[in-house]
Structure formats: C-alpha cells, structure tokens
Amino acid sequence: MKRRTVVTVAAFAAAACLLPIAGAQAEDKLALYNWGDYINPEILTRFTKETGIKVTLDTYASNEEMLAKIQAGATGYDIVFPSVHMHDIMAKLGLLARTDANTLPGFANVDPAFLRAKSDPKGEWCVPYAWGTVGIVWNRKLVPEGIRSWKAFFDYAAKHPKKVAMLDDMRETLGVGLIVNGKSVNSRNPADIKLAQATVLAHKPNLAAFTYEVIPLVQSGDLAAAHYFVGAMMYVLEKPDQLGYAIPAEGATSYQEDICVLKSAPNKAAALKFIQFFLRPEVSVLNTIQQKNGSVNTKALALLPPAMRDNENINPPAAVRARLQIFEDLGPDLKLYDRAWTKVKTN
Amino acid sequence: MSVAAHARWRRRALLAPAGLLLAAAFVGPLLLVASFSVLEPGLYGGVEWHWYPYNFGRVLGAPLGDVEEFDAAYATTLARSVKLALLVTLVSVAVCYPAAWWVSRLPPRRRALALFVVTLPFFANLIVRVYAWMLILRPTGVLNLVLAALGAGDAATDLMYTEAAVVIGLVYVLLPFMFLPLYASIEKLDPALLAASRDLGATPAQTFVRVALPLTLPGIVGGAAIVFIPALGNFVVPSLLGGSKVMLAGNLIEQQFLAARNWPFGAALAMLLLAFVLVVMLAAAWRRGTRGAVA
C-alpha cells in the first residue's frame, strides 16, 4: 500500500503521544487500525447494521508508523492491515493472534497465490486483504504516446527535465533502480544496491522531485508523468482522456496488505466476525470497486464490473503478474538501503 | 511561618504547574531521546539496552567498522540546514522589521486590526497553507498567472521544487513568530529618543543604527531564536515545496525513525542539532550578558 503522505506523517508526529486508551471491553465493539482511505466506509456501515457491532477506525500512513505505535504499547486495537513483509515482522515479534482464519467459511474464496507471508503460508493467522502495483501515471496531453516502461520514463525525463517525479520512498525508488538493472528488489548484495543508487542518482538531475503529492500536478500538466501506485486508477477512470497509468515493461513492485488480529485485541470474537464478513464476495467487491485496486477474492473478481475486471492495470494478466516483485523484510540489511537512500538524497 | 517563608512557599506553589508540565512534557522526553542516542538500534525499531556510541560515530567520524559507517553526508546535511535556517531568519527580520515599525505607528484601532491580521494564518492548518503555496509556485500556478496578466509573462519562473521555494515557504510559515517579538520591542521604543537624536544632529541612518537598532535588539534576538529553531527542524516544507531533492535535518531524522527503523541514530542526529542550537543560544546570551533574556 502506497499512500504515505507528508500530511499524514505530520499528523502522526502530532498525535504520537496520544496513544489510545483501551476502551471498555464489550462484545459489541470493534476497533480497526488501517491505512488512511483504505477501506470503503460502506463496508463498516453494513457490518454494523448486520451484527450490531460498533466499529471505530483509526488510520496510519506507513507500516513503520503502525508498528511503532503497537510496539509502544498502544492497546485497544483489534485489527491491523500490515503489508506482507510487516505481517512477517509482526509475527516474528509476537504481536499477532492466531485466528485459524483458514477454517472460516468463505476462506476458500481467497486465491491461495496471495498467501504470501512466509510466516503464515496457510492463512492460520491473517487473511489477504488487497493488492496493487506501483507504476507510472502520465498526462495524456503532454505525453500522447504514453509511458509504459522505465526506459521511456527516464528518456522522457532526459528530454524534458523537471517534468517527472519519483516517490519519496526509500525502497520503492531504489527498487526502480534495482528493476532496471535486472536485480531483485529484495537484494541484500551491496553491489546491487550501489548500482541502484548510481542509477537513481544519474537520473536525479532530470527529476522534478521525490514526492507522493503528484496527482494534482500531473492533472494540471505541471508534471508530465510520475512514479505512483495503482490508486491513480481512481483518477484515470474518472478522466480517461486526461490521464494514463501503466505497469512498466521492465517490471514493477506490487504491494499487498493482510488483515491481522492483534494479540492484544480486546474484541477478538468481533474481529473474527469481521474477517468472516469481509471474506464474502459481495462485501469484498465493494472495497475493490471503491479502491480501484487488485482483489484477492476469486469470487469477488467475478462480481466486478467488466470495465474493472478486464482492466489490465487493475487486474493484470498472468504474463504481467510474472514481472511483479513484492518487498520482503530484510532484517539488518535494511541499513544498506538507508545508506544508499541518504546518498541519493544528499548528492 | 515568617512572612518571607510564606512568600517563598507561595512562589513555589505558583510555579509548580509550569514546572510539572515542563518536567513531564519536555525534560522527560528529552532525557529519553538523549538516552536512546547512545543505545544500540533494535532490529525493528526500538532499542537494545547496550552502551553504543557509534550513532554519533557515524556523524562525527568514529564508526564501528562495517556495521556503522561514517558518512560525511550527515554532517553536511546538518550544516546545510543551519545555513538555510539562518537565511530564513535573516529574510524574516528584513521583511518584518519595516512592517512592525509601520504597524507600531498606526492609530490604536488600526494597530489592533493589523495585529489580528498577522495572527490570522494560525487559524488554518499548516499543511493546508503549505499546500496552497504549491498551487501558487507551480509552473501553471497563481504566481505565473498573475505575471502573465500583468504582461510580464516572460518573467514566468519555475520556483516549485527549488531551495528558493523552501525558503519562501519557511519564511511564510514562521513570519508571525518574528513579527510579534519585533513589534513588542519597536512599540516600546520612545519616539522622543528618536526626536532627540535628530535634534542633536544625527542623520536618519545614524539615528536608526545607533538609537533604534540597539533598543530593539532584544526583539530581533527573541524573534530570531524562535524562527531559527523551528526552521532548522521543519520537514513538511522541504518535502512539499522542495520535493525532497535536498535533504534537510528534519527529513533525515524522520527517515531514521520511520523508513530506516533506526531510532537511536535519529535520536543522535536530533541531539546534535539540539547541542548546536544550545551552543548558539548560550553564546548569544553570554555576549549580551543577560543570560535569561533569550530563553
């Protein structure tokens, strides 16, 4: 999930000391802690209507922010939505509750290809939630031919300096450096990471910025193209003659979040009810339609409007999926990326 | 109880709320940051409780082999932030001094209105206001539209994502903090002193440099301090208006606490920045011989 913005980071900084105080324990409550704008509110309304369980929703802007808050002892949350590598980290740190989710009715709707966490290959702890790609969004007036590869992206940047932007994200942007050099985005080889650093640095003079706040600038034509996640499809589908989005030919990163119950969850029974509710195709599809991202629920896919189901960016064919990589936890080797990113930012 | 003892106790009781608040909300967290800065980074954030001086070693040059490499980029980043914060402070003084002077000479009712206008930006969220600057500075933004409307379309500039944009943004955000202390000290300046200086044959320039400036110096120093320090640590403005292409101290520290999951190194960077500010403030206070006035 890629929606980390400066805005939310600043809000986090302001709110960091206001940890939630555990609410009264009651059967009829459920506290979700999710990424900002990452669930269709309609789902929460329907869940409450059907079960009488009152749902509260708090949001975070990055995996690290959520982890830091849970580690700092925030209690009162039942369900979190970590990315796959964070699911593994939280499992390692003993922060998750075993749910035996794979015994729930409806679990068979989940495509087993999305049981990606190494710590949880059978879905005994968490359930896949949603997924998507990180690609390129462009302004069709400025780039009528489109930008469908990293090569085209950087060539355009060389011809039109300061008209393209990349994400202000250590692993995503160094990840592009790794992909164009044919390396894994999870490489722990210092030579690979140095190569990625050199690639990004070589293009940096032609970039306008490293930033997440690009959609309004691409819409207005201040930027011609930007490295951005599939959430851009919300805007592309609204104005298909204005914007385009593509998964680059060389490959791209994908992300996936899982629904996990915290070990410290005060309302475990309600949390399980919610997971079971979300496994229903007609519920899951509500989220996909609103979020314009990938579905992990095979039966929900069948319910999608054809325009979305057949959209290769939202629901990529197998050949495209084969080019996608997903981030893994790198443990202590994360520091190689931190150093490379500092070099990129300071040179 | 004697009268003196009674007064002493009353003073203590009155100071207690502020003292407790400072201890809980400032001294406590500060000690936490200080202690984290010399502990080993935990693998997934947090700390391991071992003495670990290499966080400072990475910046200052006594690293731990391959585990914690020295990189001059850290010191350079801190130095660049100091330079930029100084520039922001200077621009703020230059903008605010004449404005504060003018406001202090307005009739009382209009003066009150002017002061209200200065504090008006506080009514809107910081992020929203910085976002507005994105809309002003971007190539198709308000600034260039206005220039074009004035027939100066050739002067159209692309300030978005430059260091200049960061300076503009920071000056804008911090302006009221400079204005208010300046205004307070300029308002107290007795016009009779200026008249006397002129009567005694001083030129306007001499009057300003030798009478007005020294008398309003406390306002300048106070304003400079509360502009310089937040300018040093701000990460929102460099990120939104600078496009993160130039890393500043605030961004570096944020990266350590979040993406790199290295709280101790982030804490060490924060402590170094704090130490620098403290040294500058103490030096300023020392020179003026009024230790308490700056704080």
How many residue contacts between A and B have a Cβ separation below 8 Å?
107
A131 strand-pairing partners: A256, A294
- Confidence class for position B157, pLDDT limits 50, 70, 90: confident
Claim to verify: residue A278 and residue A223 sit in the same structural domain:
no
Claim to verify: residue A146 and residue A248 sit in the same structural domain:
yes
Q: Which of B76, B126, B262 sits opposite A338 (nearest CB)?
A: B262
**Position B175 pLDDT exceeds 60:** yes
**Position B260 pLDDT exceeds 70:** yes
pLDDT at B66: 73
Claim to verify: residue A333 and residue A202 sit in the same structural domain:
yes
Q: B72-104 and B108-119 helices cross at what angle (nearest 10)? A: 160
Question: Rounded distance, CA A185 to CA A176, Å?
Answer: 8
Helices (H) and strands (E) in chain A, counts: 15, 10
Judged by average pLDDT, the poorest of A319-323, B80-84, B119-123 is B119-123
DSSP label at residue A124: S
Which residues numbered 9-48 in A keep a CB inside 8 Å of some CB on B? 9-10
Claim to verify: residue A124 and residue A263 sit in the same structural domain:
yes
Claim to verify: residue A191 and residue A43 sit in the same structural domain:
no
Please indicate if any CB of chain B lies within 8 Å of the CB of A7: yes
The distance of A10 to chain B (nearest Cα, Å) reads 7
Claim to verify: residue A264 and residue A195 sit in the same structural domain:
no
B258: chain A residues, CB-CB within 8 Å: 9, 62, 64-65, 68
The distance of B141 to chain A (nearest Cα, Å) reads 9
Mean pLDDT of B266-282: 91
Count the neighbouring beta carbons within 10 Å of the beta carbon of residue A92. 15
B127: chain A residues, CB-CB within 8 Å: 6-7, 10
**Position A19 pLDDT exceeds 60:** no
Mean pLDDT of B145-160: 82
Report if residue A335 sits inside a domain: yes
User: Which phi and psi angles does A207 have, rounded to 5°?
Assistant: -85, 145
**Position A78 pLDDT exceeds 90:** yes
**Position B1 pLDDT exceeds 80:** no
pLDDT, one tens digit per residue, over A190-211 is 999 999 999 999 999 999 999 9
The distance of B64 to chain A (nearest Cα, Å) reads 14
B240: chain A residues, CB-CB within 8 Å: 6, 211, 213
Task: Give the amino acid at A302.
Answer: A
CB contact under 8 Å between A342 and B160, yes or no, is no
Report if residue A95 sits inside a domain: yes
Which residues numbered 49-88 in A keep a CB inside 8 Å of some CB on B? 62, 64-65, 67-68, 71
Please indicate if any CB of chain A lies within 8 Å of the CB of B127: yes
pLDDT at B14: 92
Tokens of A264: 């410290």
A221: chain B residues, CB-CB within 8 Å: 140
A5: chain B residues, CB-CB within 8 Å: none
Tokens of A13: 């900084």
Claim to verify: residue A274 and residue A171 sit in the same structural domain:
no
Claim to verify: residue A169 and residue A223 sit in the same structural domain:
yes
Burial pattern A262-299, b for ≥16 Cβ within 10 A else e, equals bebbbbbebbbbbbbbbbbbebbbbbbbebbbbbbbbb
* HSE, side-chain direction, 13 A CA sphere, residue B83: 11
Place of tokens 């003196």: B4
Report if residue A1 sits inside a domain: no
Place of tokens 């910085």: B130
What pTM was estimated for this model as a whole? 0.88
Specify whether the CB–CB gap between A319 and A250 falls below 8 A: no
Please indicate if any CB of chain A lies within 8 Å of the CB of B70: no
Mean pLDDT of A76-105: 96
The distance of A133 to chain B (nearest Cα, Å) reads 20
Claim to verify: residue A204 and residue A290 sit in the same structural domain:
no
A33 strand-pairing partners: A58, A80
Place of tokens 């994105």: B134
Claim to verify: residue A205 and residue A94 sit in the same structural domain:
no
Domains of chain B: 1-36 (no CATH), 74-261 (1.10.3720.10)
CB contact under 8 Å between B245 and A207, yes or no, is yes
Mean pLDDT of A135-162: 97
- Confidence class for position B152, pLDDT limits 50, 70, 90: confident
Rounded to two decimals, the ipTM of the complex is 0.85
Report if residue A61 sits inside a domain: yes
Judged by average pLDDT, the poorest of A22-36, B39-53, B92-106 is A22-36
State the residue range of the domain holding A90.
6-131+255-315
Place of tokens 């780039």: A143
Claim to verify: residue A242 and residue A331 sit in the same structural domain:
yes
**Position B84 pLDDT exceeds 90:** yes
Q: Which residue has the higher pLDDT, B282 or A242?
A: A242
The tally of domains found in chain A comes to 2
User: What stretch of H or E contains A208?
Assistant: strand A207-210
CATH of residue A49's domain is: 3.40.190.10
* Closest Cα in chain A to B256: A338
pLDDT at B290: 57
CB contact under 8 Å between B247 and A67, yes or no, is no
pLDDT at B65: 76
User: Which phi and psi angles does B50 have, rounded to 5°?
Assistant: -125, 145
Q: Is A163 helix (H, G, I), strand (E, B) or coil?
A: coil
Report if residue A330 sits inside a domain: yes
Q: Which of B158, B245, B258 sits opposite A65 (nearest CB)?
A: B258
CB contact under 8 Å between A168 and B261, yes or no, is no
**Position A21 pLDDT exceeds 60:** no
Claim to verify: residue A119 and residue A173 sit in the same structural domain:
no
Please indicate if any CB of chain A lies within 8 Å of the CB of B63: no
Please indicate if any CB of chain B lies within 8 Å of the CB of A209: yes
User: Which phi and psi angles does A293 have, rounded to 5°?
Assistant: -120, -170
Residues with Cβ within 8 Å of A204's Cβ and at least 6 positions away in sequence, in order, are: A344, A347, B245
Report if residue A320 sits inside a domain: no
Specify whether the CB–CB gap between A205 and A218 falls below 8 A: no
